[in-house]
Amino acid sequence: AQTVTQSQPEMSVQEAETVTLSCTYDTSESDYYLFWYKQPPSRQMILVIRQEAYKQQNATENRFSVNFQKAAKSFSLKISDSQLGDAAMYFCAYSPPMNRDDKIIFGKGTRLHILP
Partner 1 sequence: DTGVSQNPRHKITKRGQNVTFRCDPISEHNRLYWYRQTLGQGPEFLTYFQNEAQLEKSRLLSDRFSAERPKGSFSTLEIQRTEQGDSAMYLCASSFRTGGGGETQYFGPGTRLLVL
Q: Which of 78, 84, 77, 89 is nearest to 115 (CA)?
A: 84
Least separation in angstroms between CB 89 and partner 1: 8
| 77, 79, 107, 112: residue in contact with partner 1 (rule CB under 8 A) | 107
- Three-state DSSP at 84 gives helix
Q: Does the footprint of partner 1 cover residue 57 (CB under 8 A)?
A: no
Provide the CA 106 distance to its chain's centre, in angstroms.
10
- Three-state DSSP at 82 gives coil
- Return the DSSP state at 58: P
Give Cβ neighbours of residue 95 (< 8 Å, ≥ 6 apart). 32, 33, 34, 35, 104
Q: Does the footprint of partner 1 cover residue 61 (CB under 8 A)?
A: no
Least separation in angstroms between CB 53 and partner 1: 10
Q: Does the footprint of partner 1 cover residue 52 (CB under 8 A)?
A: yes
How many chain residues bind partner 1 (CB under 8 A)?
Answer: 24
Residues that bind partner 1 (CB under 8 A): 33, 35, 37, 43-47, 50, 52, 89, 91, 93, 95, 98, 101, 103-109, 111
